[in-house]
Amino acid sequence: MMLSFFDQFMSPTYMGVPLIALAITLPWILYPAPTSRWINNRLLTLQGWFINRLNQQIFLPINQGGHKWAILLTSLMIFLITLNILGLLPYTFTPTTQLSLNMAFAVPLWLATVIIGMQNQPTAALGHLLPEGTPTPLIPVLIIIETISLFIRPLALGVRLTANLTAGHLLIQLIATAAFVLLPMMPTVAILTATVLFLLTLLEVAVAMIQAYVFVLLLSLYLQENV
């Protein structure tokens, strides 16, 4: 049976039960839990240092009211990084290649930032729809454009994460297929192709981490506008 390159993005099922729930739940087991000891091990120390640096990088420009989101956004970023990197392993499924899952992350969080802005500072929140000094004839057009751009934000978050991960997985599969096909005919070219595949895999690990960081960073910027 001929398989399409896009079959890897189909949600696997076992006895009619989607396994995407298992793929989402399983990464939580990999995280080390804090202990009551005075001195932590190296893994917990590294995890704490990473989380502290992340919070400092993301929440430094946000005022004190937005720091309540630190636990939520930090947990989301670590979760997305784990899902993206585990999806690069052989015979695994990447849930974040599903647009529906990414939109389920993006829409509620974006909507929460908008609601917070409307509650705390409705004048400033609505003022973002009309830049200061706009000529009177352009006011209706700019309000429509800014409103559309506001509602496109969650779609852009979900599509960006899905598209980058999907493109990387497809490229890895294409180059891996080319290496296997060229191996019996041109071994030297196949070895060079495998080297490119190895370098591309390293690049995809970086992309997996960067895309999770960008997802959370953009959410923090939306939060900064509304607190």
Q: What size, in residues, is the chain?
A: 227
- Asked whether 160 and 219 are in contact (CB, 8 A), the reply is no
Count Cα neighbours of 19 within 13 Å in the Cβ-side half-sphere: 11
Q: Does any domain span residue 216?
A: yes
CB-CB contact of 169 with 87 (8 Å): yes
Encoded amino acid at 79, one letter:
F
153-194 pLDDT, tens digit each: 999 999 999 999 988 888 888 888 888 888 888 888 889 999
Q: Which residue would you say has higher pLDDT here, 35 or 94?
A: 94
> What is the pLDDT at residue 6?
63
| pLDDT number for residue 35 | 67
pLDDT at 144 over 50: yes
CA-CA distance, 73 to 91, in Å (whole number)? 29
Nearest to 227 by CA among 106, 125, 148: 125
The number of distinct structural domains making up the chain is 1
Quick one: pLDDT band at residue 203, thresholds 50, 70, 90?
very high
Reported for 18-27, long-range contacts at CB under 8 A and 24+ positions apart, including other chains, are: 19/93, 20/93, 20/95, 20/98, 20/101, 23/83, 23/92, 23/93, 23/95, 24/83, 24/95, 24/101, 27/79, 27/82, 27/83, 27/86
pLDDT score at 2:
44
In-domain check, residue 2? no
182 part of a folded domain = yes
1 lies in some domain: no
pLDDT digits (tens, 9 = 90+) for 51-106: 888 888 887 777 777 778 888 888 888 889 988 998 888 877 888 888 888 999 99
Q: In angstroms, how far is CA 206 from the centroid of its own chain?
A: 12
**Structural domain that includes position 123:** 7-226
Q: Is 62 exposed, middle or buried (0-12, 13-18, 19+ CB in 10 A)?
A: middle
Helix (H, G, I), strand (E, B) or coil at 17: strand
Report the C-alpha gap between 23 and 87 in whole angstroms: 9
In-domain check, residue 37: yes
CA distance 126 to 129: 6
Distance CA 216, CA 214 (A): 5
- In this predicted structure, the answer to whether residue 20 has a pLDDT above a threshold of 60 is yes
Q: Tell the residue number behind the tokens 């079959």, with chain if given.
A: 7
pLDDT of residue 197 exceeding 80, the answer is yes
- In SS3 terms, 89-127 reads as CCCCCCHHHCHHHHHHHHHHHHHHHHHHHHHHCHHHHHH
* Residues 103-133: tens digit of each pLDDT: 999 999 999 988 988 888 877 777 777 777 7
Indicate the SS3 state at residue 62.
coil
Measured between alpha carbons, how far is 28 from 121 in angstroms, rounded to an integer?
37
Question: Rounded mean pLDDT of the chain?
Answer: 83
